[in-house]
Structure 1
């Protein structure tokens, strides 16, 4: 998931982060257990602040040696999706009897969202990052979900005492977190790793793969003239740029490239402008929580049903798209970096069956499978390490998975996965239906 910051994109986010400097020391004190509900010893490890994190989950023998945390937005339109991801993490931990080799591991689920924002918030990501860094019990983080939050957390954990602290993301797709390319900012990705050592990996395809896959889907749908929108933020601009570059390589006309304002009350004027170009389709590069439902409604009301609507994984969970756009979402294509559950290999299908049996209705969101695999990767790194933060991070960058929940894959020196499928979902009858999975060729990805 590439979701980035609040209104105004990268520049305003940097300014906002600058204003946080004055409170960073206070946050660090809170994180170290000098207030805010953190710092209490429980089950052999020091708990993270209760203001953001759950109680420690540990049912193993004796006391836990270490803590791992997940950092996900647990408030807002995607709550059902991310809460189930935390349940998947617990499920895997319990399967392992809370052990990673000779080490015993407890877990806390931490929320990087606020009720006011209804999504991830810069100040929560910063506070959480400081809490993880300063709590010596924490040896790894599963997350983040949104790439903008990762931009904040990665460098803090990179400089952590005794670290870096390793991160495994089951969802981040913004290219600049791990490597450079079109749509990324100057200095990326190196500015996220101030020590010069990498401490972050992701197990999903980056947006250069997603943009290329979306372009191939447009080509296979027979689309000839695509208007591209973005939500003014780095994720949205990045995936929209990757999509645009891939369309150009495929010889598909880009009818226009513009932004929508997530705080606007209507988008009929924008839709009228798009209609005048004769576009046969519109790509919405951004987040559903940036008033995406209203954008879809107004596009559909002006453009009609004949114009195809496309969106990347910022428009998940798809239930939130349907909730926000109603019948206007019908026939829309939404891409998600990763395999659908029905395409997972044997061990993946077993996980979906067994974990699904613990969930109401038996439904398992694809991101839960990725959260489970991220947990397996982190536990393996801990088991293969010398038990230090640095040792665990070193092992994360050596990840090689065989017959895992997601099948076989390796992690390269940048922290990227070798498995890069992107699945297209079609909204049909108000439901998410799997349309097809595309793994774009490197020749197209390289131009994205």
Structure 2
């Protein structure tokens, strides 16, 4: 009897152990197909904080919109577009990231870059492979249209296949240029100096502001590409004289120096800055930005408007991710979520082909149609890749913090000669 009792106990122990997750028992295998969403943003340099917060928003969108999907599982890969030891996005790394995504048959969309220059590098690579690219913050005119503010060959050099594969979830710089001039006139500036850093973004926006100022009757006293490393830099900056000074460029130490030196040469001038410079590295002395005294003279134009005008989900993102300590630090968070939302929505509306995303159908779904976003509201993607999203806000700097001042109404840009057919 004792032997039988012991044997029964051993059998019972084995059965219980097996039922409690023994090594031979595995959870059910996930048989869904895997599809991949990529993003590429700089994890080093002045955009690192915004990049991380935009990536968090994208992860949130992936979870929100794919958690009940039974056919496929979304794999999100967040790549760093900065080089080791670098101070911002790197053209070589941005190109390699784009190539990596194109070589993966499970890729259905690519979100990036934050900077217009990085987007310009990745775009032709992704276009050649037929991958939908979405940018949350690249506003350079030449990415989608030609004419004033665009370089030779733009935008066609970015689309070697002839098909538009870029969607940007912010307005292009044509509107921002017109708005900047109207803002300067509204602040009783009787003259304007326009400086830029020579980048795709800075040079293009500087050209647009100069054009709009001429068309709207605001005298421009100086236009220059200024870079602190140039021998002529000091003479250029100290010769600037205007009631208002506008500087267009990417954030970083060079931008801080140019803004500071131009303001010192014009102690009574107001400083106007564009959306790309809504960044802690510009506004906050603790992050290497301008002084608090100079900050009081600065007005910024941002592509993020009045938070109260966004849908409830958009207001939540602005409050929880875009704003830190009462300061706007990541204006691209809302558009980053919307980019993932659009890509995932089009993926769900198309069928997988032998288990892989139908990239062509996803592009056809995204471009040229009306969409509804729970963070942006309703908008339309034009055939050239621009959207009808055109919200702007005026911001000020107070003790290093970037604070919303008021909603701005974007004026209609002055008609200008454009290269080729800009179908809308």
Q: Tell me the TM-score normalized by structure 1.
A: 0.78
Instruction: State whether residues 209 and 422 of structure 1, in contact with CA within 8 Å, keep that contact through their aligned partners in structure 2.
Output: no
**Residue 67 (structure 2) pairs with residue 95 (structure 1):** no
Instruction: State whether residues 142 and 375 of structure 1, in contact with CA within 8 Å, keep that contact through their aligned partners in structure 2.
Output: yes
- Aligned partner of 2:258 in structure 1 is 295
Distance 2:409 2:417 in 1: 15
- Aligned partner of 1:407 in structure 2 is 377
- Aligned partner of 1:18 in structure 2 is none
Distance 2:70 2:266 in 1: 57
Q: Deviations over 1:133-170 (max 9, x none)?
A: 1111211011111111111211111111xxx0001111
- Aligned partner of 2:16 in structure 1 is none
- Aligned partner of 2:359 in structure 1 is 389
CA distance 1:319–1:291, change in 2 (3 Å): closer
CA distance 1:130–1:99, change in 2 (3 Å): farther
Greater Rg over alpha carbons, structure = 2
Q: Which consecutive residues of structure 2, in runs of 5 or more, have no partner in the other structure?
A: 1-28, 353-357, 419-424
**Residue 77 (structure 2) pairs with residue 108 (structure 1):** yes
**Residue 254 (structure 2) pairs with residue 254 (structure 1):** no
Q: Deviations over 1:10-69 (max 9, x none)?
A: xxxxxxxxxxxxxxxxxxxxxxxxxxxxxxxxxxxxxxxxxxxxxxxxxx9655520001
CA distance 1:367–1:127, change in 2 (3 Å): same
Distance 2:104 2:301 in 1: 37
Distance 1:125 1:262 in 2: 25
Distance 2:373 2:201 in 1: 32
**Residue 399 (structure 2) pairs with residue 429 (structure 1):** yes
Report the secondary structure of 1:155's partner residue: helix
**Residue 123 (structure 1) shift:** 0.5
**Residue 105 (structure 1) shift:** 1.0
**Residue 407 (structure 2) pairs with residue 444 (structure 1):** no
- Aligned partner of 1:124 in structure 2 is 93
Distance 2:177 2:89 in 1: 23
**Residue 340 (structure 2) pairs with residue 371 (structure 1):** no
Distance 1:147 1:347 in 2: 27
Distance 1:143 1:209 in 2: 22
Report the secondary structure of 2:388's partner residue: coil
**Residue 227 (structure 1) shift:** 0.7
1:287-326 residue pairs with structure 2 within 5 A?
287-289=250-252, 291-304=254-267, 306-322=268-284, 323-326=288-291
CA distance 1:445–1:101, change in 2 (3 Å): farther
Q: Tell me the TM-score normalized by structure 2.
A: 0.83
Distance 1:265 1:282 in 2: 22
Instruction: State whether residues 37 and 74 of structure 2, in contact with CA within 8 Å, keep that contact through their aligned partners in structure 1.
Output: yes
Instruction: State whether residues 327 and 402 of structure 2, in contact with CA within 8 Å, keep that contact through their aligned partners in structure 1.
Output: no
**Residue 301 (structure 1) shift:** 2.4
CA distance 1:187–1:371, change in 2 (3 Å): same
Report the secondary structure of 1:229's partner residue: strand
